[in-house]
Amino acid sequence: MFSSLFNSSKNRGNSAFIHLFLLAYTLLALFPVFLIIINAFKTRKGIFNDPLALPTSATFSTKGFEKVMANSDFFHYFSNSLIITLGALFFILLLGAMIAWALSEYKFFGSSFMRFFMAIGIIVPIRLGSVSILETIVSLDLVNTKTALILVYIAQGLPMAVFILSEFMAQIPKELKEAARCDDVSEYKIFFQIILPLTRPAIATVAVFSIIPIWNDLWFPLILAPGEEARTVTLGVQQFIGQYVTDWNSVLASLTLAVVPVLILYMIFSKHIIRGLTAGAVK
């Protein structure tokens, strides 16, 4: 769609403008990340003297990383974050795809209410329900567990996942399902072997959208799992931020390290965001 827009000479000026705008936005978005990474490699003095400067031989230091690495708790936080993110992601994608398929393919009692219910989930931020979520988690005796966070994050991610996936699934040619039904293929097999593979680009999109808020979240770990056992990276970093003194080297180093897994996950999923997977199915 965009390539055809850019190819026509008439729109070349327009396309240059769009690119310029996107470039500016990219710089703006990357600037804080860039700032964190360069300062993570500087001495404390270097950070405060000139925060915008690149590390020089005089200011270069990996003291922050050494401190973080030496702190064995950090890897514990790290694995907590990873387990929670991947666990929640797995269920968001599986359940989201199943709900989306059910809503787009079958008409059943309460299906329109279900759709409406999911739409509300997109509109209303989950944090508004923090109090009752906390009450529920307490009554389930799940405080300070990873399970509590995974459950909450599934609830947080599902509505958007269902919304995106059901739109996408509605576009899958209905002849494919009909052909499969004529071919004596069960509904489960149609879902897992035809619909899911064809929905892969949308699933990758949803995965990328879901990972980042979960990984970065501070709110729910803080109120649901502040204990040592289920502490996540974002919460773990807070121990370096004191009321009077903040260990900026460690904070920035741990934040830099925390970017890495998200980056890797993002690269894995973005590779699958490819269009035209259904080419050759019909016509």
Partner 1 sequence: MASVSLKNIHKSFGKIEVIKDVSLEIESGEFVVFVGPSGCGKSTLLRLICGLEEITSGVLEIGNENVTSLSPRQRGIAMVFQSYALYPHMTVYKNMAFGLKTAGEDKSKIDQKIRDAAKVLQLDQLLNRRPAELSGGQRQRVAIGRAIVREPRVFLFDEPLSNLDASLRIQMRIEISRLHESLDCTTIYVTHDQVEAMTLADKIVVLSEGKVEQVGTPMSLYNEPANLFVAKFIGAPAMNLIQAHTKAPLEDNEPRYINAEISGKSVRLPCLSYNYKDNQNLTVGIRPEHINILGEDQKTQILEEDLQLPVVIDLVERLGDVSYLYIHMEDGTPVVVTVSGQSKLNIDKKINLHIPATKIHLFNESGERIM
Residues 249-278 binding partner 1 (CB under 8 A) are 277-278
283 binds partner 1 (CB under 8 A): yes
Residue 45, φ and ψ in degrees, nearest 5 = -65, -45
180 binds partner 1 (CB under 8 A): yes
Which of 173, 229, 267, 268 contacts partner 1 by CB under 8 A? 173
The CA distance from 230 to 227, in Å, is 6
Least distance to partner 1, CB of residue 266, Å: 24
Residues 109-168 binding partner 1 (CB under 8 A) are none
Cross-strand partners of 241: 246
Least distance to partner 1, CB of residue 38, Å: 44
197 binds partner 1 (CB under 8 A): yes
Nearer to partner 1, 197 or 226 (CB): 197
Least Cα distance to 195 among 84, 97, 96 occurs for 97
Stretch that binds partner 1, among 72-80, 134-142, 155-163, 192-200 (CB under 8 A): 192-200
Nearer to partner 1, 202 or 252 (CB): 202
283: which residues sit within 8 A by CB, 6+ positions away? none
Which of 152, 164, 198, 224 contacts partner 1 by CB under 8 A? 198
26 binds partner 1 (CB under 8 A): no
Nearer to partner 1, 178 or 228 (CB): 178
182 binds partner 1 (CB under 8 A): yes
Footprint of partner 1 on this chain (CB under 8 A)?
A: 173, 175-176, 178-186, 189, 193-194, 197-198, 277-283
